[in-house]
Amino acid sequence: MKIKKLEISHKKFDINLKFYFFLKFLLKASLSNNQVHQLLEKYTLYKKLDYQVIIEFLMEFINSIKSIKKQKTMQDILNEIYTSIDLKLFIFSLKLYLIKDLLLEEAKLKYSLDVSKLEELEPLSLEYDKITTYTPYSTRVNGALLSLIFFEKLENGETNFISADSEEFIKKLSSLAIALKHYGLEANQIFMLMFSESINQSIISDSGSNYEDRILSVLLSIGIDKNKIKKIHDKNDTSTEFDFFFELENKTYGIGAKRTLRERYKQFIKTSQMSYIDVMIEITLGIDLTEEKVKSIRKHDVYLFVSDEVYNSYDYLKDIKGVFSVKDLNLQTLYNLGKGLK
């Protein structure tokens, strides 16, 4: 069975390519909202004239901008306007440039709401981890869906989704969107190429990478002196790094912090056979633990702390000595481990 040949007409490709070019270069120019408003005002004043005359007035304003970088970038844009349709496309791009930040803030609101939930959660819980892992992605998804809804409304001529003060602006934007769609413009798809880049730049994208920070916050909260915590490589096995190393009552503690262990726990086991550290601990969520892994870890006197949700879900974790819920991570437990009590 053959897949039917997919074809995009040159006309459709060209207008969408130019639209992306305009959006990218506007982003590069970093015009202020006031500068965009002045360009739009110039266009409004002279829009009944020939498009080439309008470009001259726009270029006149561009040349008055003090920033040489902005001048050059905007000149590059205006030099790519060859027809009246190109000019309409440019004006459409300018208006979307203004809207972009509003959509971006709306998309990030989901991020802010998710982060606010963290205040009520334990830093080493699965629920906390889920939020920190998925929040950056949820912001991108939220942004994509908001953009889709926005352009659907524009192309359907709907303008009742915004404040009364902005309705006239949206009406004109909607008219432009409808007119340009007839020429093959796929505004949402192309806008999203640029918009997703803006989202990526504006949010923390290291999903799940703050697990060590969360463990550090717990260690500090139970009374470990921050100035006494180090990140070191084991002296006898330099391939192993302890994310947290400190001393309590003349006992040394080395902690490995990994959200998921996979096969990395084997390296820690190898180190335990060579290291002079008194207490070796692995802190992990526990979502990929098996009974066999746990027994293997404990067989080599490495203590294991897992998220409370996982700890309470499996009886074998409670039955194996030296395995704890992260809720039991406190000074007394550490002192006990230093004394060899399990």
Q: Confirm if 252 and 245 have CB atoms less than 8 A apart.
A: yes
Query: Token digits for 261?
Result: 């262990």
Q: Mind listing the pLDDT tens digit for each residue in 15-48?
A: 999 999 999 999 999 999 899 999 999 999 999 9
Distance CA 166, CA 162 (A): 7
Confirm or reject CATH 3.40.50.300 for domain 211-338, answering yes or no. Answer: no
- pLDDT at position 205 is 43
Distance CA 29, CA 32 (A): 9
Query: Token digits for 232?
Result: 């070191």
Query: Token digits for 67?
Result: 């920033």
Distance CA 256, CA 271 (A): 11
Give me the residues of the chain with pLDDT under 70, please: 1-6, 159-167, 201-209, 233-240, 263-275, 341-342
Judged by DSSP in three states, 128 sits in helix
- pLDDT at position 162 is 61
Domain residues of the chain, as ranges? 10-202, 211-338
Give CA angle at 250 (248, 251), nearest 5°. Answer: 65
